[in-house]
């Protein structure tokens, strides 16, 4: 029995190991040659060539999952929702696995390196039907026996592109069928197959048709019989789809003629070819018979200087656009094929094209040595460059020297602004203005006081004491600029002074002016019968009574414009500053002796006061002498009895440190 179990265990391990074999060369067995599929069709794969194996990342990476004997399928989601599908082996004893990726904007081969593209998978070691359905319990099912063969239906997003790998773990060439259904997502393109654009080669012996969607290569008749041309001055004798030599679908095709078309107007029309159909999309929907596009064959003429891409403010580059491809080897790299005339001199430093593999470009980038900042009417002119020619198009035609394109540059703008201040005691009025130079037509103000504006000039009110940041953005419809200024207003005055928190008997009080603004005069009234007009008044003495007493101290300040402000504060003169700790306290809430704390600690700094119970446990601590213990810990009343207190502090006048200790009785 043990031997049988051991053999079963070893067998299961061997089944999980990937089979390394020859590289996959059959179309559809690599991500970049994936089959395009339609949600309404059943896809049949009768045989599975043995090849692989490459590991694929995802939640099952630790299981060593790989694209063993694979086929790949690609599709686009046209309506968001859930995806259901079924893989049915032709031999129900075969083990098929699968994994799904979102490859939107990615290279298909990224599925081998980028685990973040993962969407769903099922690598169960069980044989038979598999897929994604409402019966699934998990989105990702990894390798192993006894695992569910169906995963949860993954959610697809409209407009996203997906790759589905079907991996044949069983090393046989027995195939399977793939069908979609049961979910709410749509992977069926309902766009009617059609034609988008038509062009011809320079010698008019080939016609290129751009399709309105990708369609099946195998439905294009190689003899070109899917199309006709009228008037029939030449015959279509061949056709091939772009990319069909290494894939299953195409978005454009080329028709070959038996002789050049002379200049004139022609119509190319779709029809049923010798293969019995027009070309079909992924879902086998045909392009309608009679679908057509008009083609104009013009005499071979030089390609003119056509147009400029939209200019930016202060451009450092001009982009020339041409209707036909320009041979890249005819462009002088130093930009000497061009010169620019206008109100200000412009120097060209180079020129390059967006060159395709066949050496053509439809755009030439003319680089300038400095930005064009001066507005006016300019012209870019074509001339013979240092390479001995102007520009040569794809048909070998030379654009003549002297060809030109006129364009307009707008001045750069400045958002710098001016302002004047009309002062007041409470409110200042500021007038803002911009000069509007260089054709500025748009203003956007932020006045820093919560207000905005769109006028060239504006008047704003501000509190006469404070700082404000004002910003302005301007535009002439072509160039923009932003400027800001921090404005400090100091026309009002605001009275303020610093005083002692409390004054002990026989101590003198010092008052420090903290007023704001351009104060020129001070008027003090100390509440003890003394007054002063000095900014720094003399020290003041106050009478001491048997109880604490408050004295009103006021300050009035003035500036040169006659603005004034007043402030009054109460000075507390205390009857006793000798620190003492009560020998007993009664925290019963009657307002008498309810708290334990250091009394009169007005001159104590760096104070620490702690209370301990009879077990040596600290029940209270404070560094603020006016924070008092109420006889509780965490809201629980403490028992009657003796408590030990410890007090340490430094006298702020003498700098002397004190450490005190004693006992207090808590009475309830």
Identify the segments of the chain with pLDDT beneath 50. Answer: 1-21
In the three-class reduction of DSSP (H, G, I as helix; E, B as strand; rest coil), residue 112 is classed as helix
| Residue from 338, 535, 314, 492 nearest 414 by CA | 314
CA distance 203 to 524: 102
In the three-class reduction of DSSP (H, G, I as helix; E, B as strand; rest coil), residue 276 is classed as coil
Q: Classify residue 270 by burial, with Cβ atoms within 10 Å: 0-12, 13-18, 19+.
A: buried
Q: How far is CA 330 from CA 303, 324, 362, 553, in A?
A: 13, 14, 13, 91
CA distance 372 to 344: 9
Q: Which CATH superfamily is domain 418-490 in?
A: Immunoglobulins (2.60.40.10)
The pLDDT of residue 89 is: 97
The pLDDT of residue 5 is: 32
The pLDDT of residue 23 is: 83
Q: Is 338:381 a contact under the CB 8 Å cutoff?
A: yes
What residue ranges of the chain are covered by domains with CATH 2.60.40.1130? 195-297
Q: How remote is the C-alpha of 57 from its chain's centroid?
A: 26
The residue ranges of DSSP E strands in 83-231, in sequence order, are 85-89, 96-102, 118-124, 130-132, 140-144, 150-151, 155-156, 161-168, 174-180, 195-200, 206-216, 227-230
CATH class name, domain 307-409: mainly beta
What is the CATH number assigned to the segment(s) 195-297? 2.60.40.1130
The pLDDT of residue 456 is: 97
What residue ranges of the chain are covered by domains with CATH 2.60.40.1220? 307-409, 584-666
Q: Which CATH superfamily is domain 497-573 in?
A: Immunoglobulins (2.60.40.10)
Q: Is 333:361 a contact under the CB 8 Å cutoff?
A: no
Q: Is 447:460 a contact under the CB 8 Å cutoff?
A: yes
CA distance 153 to 138: 9
Element (H, E) at 453: strand 452-453
Q: How far is CA 113 from CA 17, 53, 67, 349, 422, in A?
A: 20, 14, 13, 42, 69
| Residue from 413, 399, 417 nearest 457 by CA | 417
Residue 513 in tokens:
């002016």
pTM given for the model: 0.54
Q: Does domain 584-666 have CATH number 2.160.10.10?
A: no
The pLDDT of residue 93 is: 95
What residue ranges of the chain are covered by domains with CATH 2.60.40.10? 418-490, 497-573
For CA atoms 415, 418, 422, 423, the dihedral sign is: positive
């Amino acid at each position: 029995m043990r031997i049988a179990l051991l053999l079963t265990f070893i067998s299961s391990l061997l089944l999980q190991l990937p089979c390394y074999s020859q590289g996959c060369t059959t179309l559809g067995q690599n991500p970049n040659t994936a089959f395009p599929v339609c949600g309404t069709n059943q896809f049949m794969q009768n045989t599975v060539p043995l090849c692989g194996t490459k590991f694929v990342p995802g939640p099952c990476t630790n299981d060593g999952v790989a694209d063993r004997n694979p086929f790949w399928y690609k599709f686009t989601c046209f309506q968001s929702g859930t995806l259901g599908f079924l893989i049915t082996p032709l031999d129900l004893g075969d083990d098929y696995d699968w994994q799904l990726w979102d490859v939107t904007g990615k290279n298909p081969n990224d599925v081998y390196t980028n685990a973040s593209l993962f969407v769903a998978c099922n690598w169960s070691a069980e044989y038979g039907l598999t897929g994604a359905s409402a019966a699934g319990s998990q989105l990702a099912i990894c390798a192993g026996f006894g695992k569910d063969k169906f995963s949860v239906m993954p959610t697809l997003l409209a407009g996203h592109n997906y790759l589905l790998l079907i991996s044949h773990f069983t090393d046989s060439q027995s195939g399977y069928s793939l069908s979609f259904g049961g979910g709410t997502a749509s992977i069926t393109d309902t766009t009617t197959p059609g034609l988008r654009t038509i062009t011809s080669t320079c010698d008019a012996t080939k016609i290129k048709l751009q399709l309105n969607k990708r369609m099946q290569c195998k439905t294009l008749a190689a003899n070109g019989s899917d199309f006709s041309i009228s008037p029939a001055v030449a015959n279509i004798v061949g056709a091939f789809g772009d990319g069909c030599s290494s894939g299953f679908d195409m978005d454009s095709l080329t028709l070959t003629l038996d002789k050049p078309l002379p200049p004139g107007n022609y119509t190319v029309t779709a029809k049923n070819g010798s293969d019995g159909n027009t070309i079909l999309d992924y879902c086998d929907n045909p392009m309608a018979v009679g679908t057509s596009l008009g083609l104009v064959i013009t005499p071979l003429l030089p390609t003119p200087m056509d147009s400029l891409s939209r200019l930016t403010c202060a451009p450092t580059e001009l982009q020339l656009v041409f209707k036909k491809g320009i041979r890249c080897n005819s462009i002088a790299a130093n930009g000497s094929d061009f010169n620019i005339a206008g109100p200000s001199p412009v120097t060209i430093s180079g020129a390059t094209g967006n060159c395709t593999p066949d050496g053509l470009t439809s755009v030439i980038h003319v680089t300038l040595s400095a930005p064009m900042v001066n507005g006016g009417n300019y012209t870019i002119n074509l001339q013979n460059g240092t390479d001995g020619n102007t520009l040569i198009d794809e048909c070998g035609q030379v654009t003549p020297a002297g060809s030109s394109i006129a364009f307009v540059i707008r001045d750069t703008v400045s958002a710098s602004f001016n302002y004047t201040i009309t002062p007041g005691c409470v409110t200042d009025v500021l007038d803002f203005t911009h000069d509007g130079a260089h054709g500025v037509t748009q203003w956007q103000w932020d006045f820093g006081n919560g207000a905005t504006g769109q006028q060239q000039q504006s008047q704003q009110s501000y509190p006469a004491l404070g700082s404000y940041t004002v910003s302005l953005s301007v535009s002439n419809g072509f160039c923009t600029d932003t400027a800001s200024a921090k404005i400090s207003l100091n026309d009002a005055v605001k009275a303020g002074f610093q005083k002692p928190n409390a004054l002990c008997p026989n101590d003198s009080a010092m008052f420090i002016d903290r007023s704001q603004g351009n104060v020129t005069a001070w008027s003090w009234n100390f509440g003890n019968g003394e007054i002063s007009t000095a900014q720094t008044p003399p020290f003041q003495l106050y009478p001491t009574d048997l109880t604490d007493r408050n004295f009103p101290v006021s300050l009035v300040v003035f500036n040169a414009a006659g603005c004034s402000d007043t402030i009054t504060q109460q000075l507390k003169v205390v009857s006793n500053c000798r620190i003492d700790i009560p020998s007993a306290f009664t925290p019963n809430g009657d307002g008498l002796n309810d708290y334990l704390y250091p009394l009169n600690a007005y001159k104590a700094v760096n104070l620490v006061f702690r209370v301990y119970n009879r077990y040596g446990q600290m029940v209270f601590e404070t560094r603020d002498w006016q924070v008092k213990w109420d006889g509780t810990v965490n809201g629980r009343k403490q028992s009657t009895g003796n408590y030990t207190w410890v007090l340490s502090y430094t006298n702020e006048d003498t700098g002397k440190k004190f450490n005190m200790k004693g006992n207090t009785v808590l009475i309830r």
